[in-house]
């Protein structure tokens, strides 16, 4: 199979994730969409790794996974504490810093 197809898939996934981030208000969904985008990137990295025949892309993909894991930890913690304090997971409600 032509590895370029993987790139098309990655682009499609990224676009879906981006749209989700932009239009959804639920913090969990936004969060999932971000994960989708990250994984789209991972897919692209791995595909490039295959295309160029070296391992750089796969290494970066591992980095991304670590970062994603860390992000999930921090992000979920924030969302949970947000939900606890105001009983809503909407990102629009979190506007305390707004002037």
Partner 1 sequence: MNTENLIALLVAAPLLGAAVLLCGGRRLDRVGPWLGTLLAAVPFVIGLVLFTDMLGKGAEERSLHQHLFSWIPVEGFQADVAFQLDQLSMTFVLLISGVGTLIHLYSIGYMEHDERRRRFFGYLNLFLAAMLLLVLADNYLLLYVGWEGVGLASYLLIGFWQHKPSAATAAKKAFLVNRVGDMGLSIAIMLMFTTFGTFAFEPVLGAAEETSEGKLTAIGLMLLLAACGKSAQVPLQSWLGDAMEGPTPVSALIHAATMVTAGVYLIVRSGVIFNGAPDAQLAVTVVGAVTLLFGAIVGCAKDDIKKALAGSTMSQIGYMILAAGLGPIGYVFAIMHLVTHGFFKAGLFLGAGSVMHGMNDEVDMRKYGGLRKYMPVTFVTFGLGYLAIIGFPGLSGFFSKDKIIEAAFAKGGTEGWILGSVALLGAAITAYYMTRVMIMTFFGEKRWEPDAQGNAPHPHESPKSMTIPMILLAVGSVFAGGFFSIGDRFMHWLEPVTHHDHGDSPLSAATVTGATMVVLVIGVSMAWVQYGRRPVPSVAPRGSLVTRAARRDLLQDDFNHVVLVRGGEHLTRSLVYVDHTLVDGVVNGTAASVGGLSGRLRKLQNGYARSYAVSMFGGAAVLIVATLLMRAV
The residue ranges that bind partner 1 (CB under 8 A) are 18, 21-23, 25, 30, 91-92, 94-95, 97-99
Cβ pair 82, 91 in contact under 8 A: no
Closer residue to partner 1 (CB): 1 or 22:
22
3-state DSSP assignment of residue 81: helix
**Cα–Cα distance for residue pair 28/85, rounded to 1 Å:** 16
Helix (H) or strand (E) holding 63: helix 56-86
- Write down the least CB distance from residue 47 to partner 1, Å: 18
Q: Minimum distance between the CB of residue 22 and partner 1, rounded to whole angstroms? A: 5
In the complex, the smallest distance separating the C-beta of residue 60 from partner 1, rounded to whole angstroms, is 18
């Amino acid at each position: 199979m032509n590895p370029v197809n993987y790139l098309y898939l990655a682009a499609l996934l990224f676009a879906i994730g981006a749209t989700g981030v932009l239009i959804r208000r639920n913090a969990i969904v936004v969060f999932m969409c971000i994960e989708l985008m990250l994984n789209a990137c991972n897919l692209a990295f791995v595909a490039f790794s295959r295309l160029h025949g070296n391992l750089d892309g796969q290494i970066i993909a591992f980095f991304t996974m670590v970062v994603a894991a860390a992000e999930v930890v921090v992000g979920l913690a924030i969302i949970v504490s947000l939900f606890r304090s105001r009983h809503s997971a909407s990102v629009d409600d979190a506007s305390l810093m707004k002037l």
